[in-house]
C-alpha cells in the first residue's frame, strides 16, 4: 500500500513543523516578558532608566542612594560613592582587580549588581585598615614587596583577606588556589604568595586582625 499524500486543504494530524516552532516561540516570548500562568503572580518589572532606592552597608557604614538596577557594585562604589580603592579592570569577571568581600567572601564587584548587594556586609580594601594603620594583609604586602605597578594590589589584598578568614593557616597550594582569581600582569606571584603566608602569621600573632 502506498503512502497517501494529503492535499492542501486536508487537515494534518499531530504537530507540524510550523506549529512546533510557533508554540516554542510563544513560550519564549511569555518567559521573556514575564507573562505568568493562571494563578501565578506577575513579577514586577522596572522600566529602563528608572531609579530604585538601596541601602548598602560598606565598611560598617550604611549608604542610602538611588541606583539604576543595571548598575554594578563597582560602578556605584567608584562613581557614586567615591570609594576608589576598588579598581576597574576587565569588567567581565576575569582579572580580580575589583574584588571586594561580601559577607566575608571574595566577590567581583564588576559582576555584582548594586541592588543584589543590598542587605549584605560589603568590605573594600579601605575597610581593612584600622584608622590610619594598615591591616595585617596590607602590612604583609608592603613587607614582602608583593607588587610592582600596584594596580591589581587592592584586589589581591582583599582576596587574601577573604582566604585567611576562611583558612587562617593555609598551605602554599591553598594560597595558590585561593589567589587564582586575581591576575598580576607584573607577575609578582612569588612575592604575593609569600605576603599571604606572612599575613597569616601576623593575624595569628595579633589575634586575627
Residue 110's SS3 state is helix
Task: Give pLDDT tens digits for 8-36.
Answer: 444 444 444 444 445 444 444 444 444 44
Query: For residue 49, what pLDDT band results from cuts at 50, 70 and 90?
Result: confident
For residue 2, the model assigns a pLDDT of 47
For residue 68, the model assigns a pLDDT of 97
pLDDT at 112 over 60: yes
Evaluate whether 140 touches 198 at the Cβ level (below 8 Å).
yes
pLDDT at 205 over 70: yes
For residue 198, the model assigns a pLDDT of 98
Query: For residue 41, what pLDDT band results from cuts at 50, 70 and 90?
Result: low
For residue 193, the model assigns a pLDDT of 98
Per the model's pLDDT, the better-predicted residue between 161 and 46 turns out to be 161
pLDDT at 95 over 80: yes
For residue 110, the model assigns a pLDDT of 98
Q: Is 111 exposed, middle or buried (0-12, 13-18, 19+ CB in 10 A)?
A: middle
For residues 48-56, average pLDDT: 90
For residue 27, the model assigns a pLDDT of 46
Within 13 Å, how many C-alpha atoms sit on residue 162's CB side? 28
Task: Give pLDDT tens digits for 151-202.
Answer: 999 999 999 999 999 999 999 999 999 999 999 999 999 999 999 999 999 9
Task: Sketch the domain layout of the chain as residue ranges.
Answer: 52-127, 129-206
For residue 26, the model assigns a pLDDT of 47
Domain 52-127 in CATH 3.10.20.30: yes
**Cα gap 36→47, rounded to integer Å:** 18
Task: Give pLDDT tens digits for 120-141.
Answer: 999 999 999 999 999 999 999 9
**Class (C level, CATH) for 129-206:** mainly alpha
**Cα gap 105→165, rounded to integer Å:** 9
Amino acid at each position: 500500500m502506498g503512502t497517501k499524500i494529503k492535499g492542501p486543504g486536508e487537515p494534518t494530524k499531530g504537530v507540524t513543523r510550523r506549529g512546533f516552532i510557533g508554540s516554542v516561540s510563544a513560550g519564549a516570548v511569555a518567559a521573556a516578558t514575564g507573562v505568568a500562568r493562571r494563578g501565578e503572580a506577575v513579577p514586577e518589572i522596572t522600566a529602563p532608566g528608572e531609579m530604585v532606592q538601596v541601602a548598602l552597608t560598606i565598611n560598617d557604614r550604611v549608604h542610602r542612594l538611588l541606583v539604576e538596577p543595571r548598575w554594578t557594585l563597582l560602578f556605584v562604589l567608584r562613581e557614586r560613592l567615591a570609594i576608589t580603592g576598588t579598581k576597574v579592570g576587565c569588567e567581565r569577571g576575569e582579572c580580580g582587580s575589583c574584588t571586594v568581600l561580601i559577607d566575608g567572601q571574595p566577590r567581583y564587584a564588576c559582576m555584582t549588581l548594586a541592588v543584589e548587594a543590598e542587605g549584605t556586609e560589603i568590605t573594600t580594601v579601605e575597610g581593612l585598615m584600622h584608622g590610619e594603620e594598615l591591616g595585617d594583609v596590607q602590612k604583609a604586602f608592603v613587607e614582602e614587596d608583593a607588587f610592582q605597578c600596584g594596580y591589581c594590589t587592592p584586589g589581591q589584598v582583599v582576596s587574601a583577606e577573604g582566604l585567611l578568614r576562611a583558612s587562617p593557616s593555609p598551605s602554599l597550594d591553598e594560597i595558590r588556589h585561593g589567589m587564582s582569581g586575581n591576575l598580576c600582569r607584573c607577575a609578582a606571584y612569588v612575592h604575593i604568595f609569600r605576603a599571604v603566608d606572612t599575613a597569616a602569621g601576623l593575624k595569628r600573632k595579633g589575634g586575627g586582625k
